């Protein structure tokens, strides 16, 4: 069903069970095919390809030559019914590629709201991306990656499959991330290593000076005091009782992932 207020260019190709919401525009030579739902007030430029099963929220902008909801590149994929969900207020720039999930995971690639994907960024199958994230040009997420809220990826940075990056972290340009990056941490290099707390980013997000001080102390306990992970975690959890911001850091360290950047 296409809302009567939506504007579809005559050269666009719309096939299958496609739903397009109010005041959404679809540009010339765009292809929307399969089980696709697009919300209200979206702007879909020319020469975009969107395939289903995909659900795209409201107020999203998708620029030319983007490929959204395409079959994944996993060699095990055999045409199973898999899904993509995208929230609201996202900007997906030119030549960005976002693939649906696989049955080897939850069958779902999921992106939150208020994210910016710059030119040529790639989100592989089964990734989960939080809210308010920025991925600069050519940033690459391998399959099954989990990204928290308000994370920034620099240009040409890449992360290994099944990797995790905690909320408010900053991954520098050209970084090669082969381990998990805890919340608030700035990681740079090939392979990526921790260098500092993302203090400027926290200030911009309204963190108090006391909270930032506690986070920086937790970082020093983990990375600058010669502690093992277990020793550092026991100390960090004491601070987490007073500062919920530190609890986010501690909870991440307790997860059983690929190990953290060191």
Q: Given the residues 125, 130, 148, 166, select the one marked as catalytic.
A: 125
pTM: 0.97
The beta strand positions in 5-93, using DSSP E, are 7-8, 13-15, 18-20, 25-26, 31-33, 36-38, 43-44, 49-51, 54-56, 61-62, 67-70, 83-86, 91-92
Among 126, 154, 166, 172, the active-site one is 126
**166 close to 248: Cβ distance less than 8 angstroms:** yes
Catalytic residue of the set 87, 143, 154, 166: 143
Task: Note the pLDDT of residue 139.
Answer: 98
pLDDT digits (tens, 9 = 90+) for 17-66: 999 999 999 999 999 999 999 999 999 999 999 999 999 999 999 999 99
Whether a cis peptide bond, with omega within 30° of 0, leads into 191 is yes
125 is catalytic: yes
Angle at 203 between CA 156 and CA 87, to 5 degrees: 55
Mean of the per-residue pLDDT values of the chain: 97
Q: Helices 229-240 and 244-254 sit at what angle, rounded to 10 degrees? A: 150
Residue 257 pLDDT: 80
Angle at 79 between CA 14 and CA 48, to 5 degrees: 30
Backbone angles phi, psi at 191, to 5 degrees: -80, 160
CA 181, CA 159: separation in Å to the nearest integer? Answer: 10
> Percentage of residues in the chain with pLDDT exceeding 70?
100
pLDDT value at position 256?
Answer: 73
User: Averaged over 124-143, what is the pLDDT?
Assistant: 98
The string of pLDDT tens digits covering residues 188-219 is: 999 999 999 999 999 999 999 999 999 999 99
């Amino acid at each position: 069903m296409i809302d009567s207020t939506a504007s579809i260019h005559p050269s666009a190709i719309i096939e299958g069970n496609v739903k397009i919401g109010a005041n959404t525009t679809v540009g010339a030579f765009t292809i929307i095919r399969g089980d696709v739902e697009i919300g209200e007030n979206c702007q879909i430029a020319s020469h975009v390809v969107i395939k289903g099963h995909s659900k795209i929220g409201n107020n999203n902008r998708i620029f030319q030559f983007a490929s959204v909801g395409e079959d994944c590149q996993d060699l095990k994929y055999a045409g199973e019914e898999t899904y993509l969900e995208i929230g609201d207020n996202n900007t997906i720039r030119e030549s960005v590629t976002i693939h649906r999930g696989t049955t080897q995971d939850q069958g779902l690639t999921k992106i939150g709201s208020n994210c910016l994907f710059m030119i040529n960024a790639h989100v592989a199958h089964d990734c989960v991306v939080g809210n308010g994230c920025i991925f600069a040009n050519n940033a690459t997420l391998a399959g099954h990656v989990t990204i928290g809220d308000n994370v920034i990826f620099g240009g040409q940075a890449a992360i290994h499959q099944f990797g995790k990056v905690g909320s408010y972290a900053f991954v520098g340009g050209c970084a090669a991330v082969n381990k998990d990056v805890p919340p608030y941490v700035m990681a740079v290099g090939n392979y990526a290593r921790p260098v500092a707390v993302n203090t400027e980013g926290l200030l911009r997000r309204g963190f108090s000076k006391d909270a930032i001080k506690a986070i920086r102390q937790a970082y020093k306990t983990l990375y600058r005091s010669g502690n093992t992970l277990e020793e550092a975690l026991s100390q960090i959890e004491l601070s987490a009782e007073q500062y919920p911001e530190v609890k986010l850091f501690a909870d991440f360290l307790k997860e059983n992932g690929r190990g953290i950047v060191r």
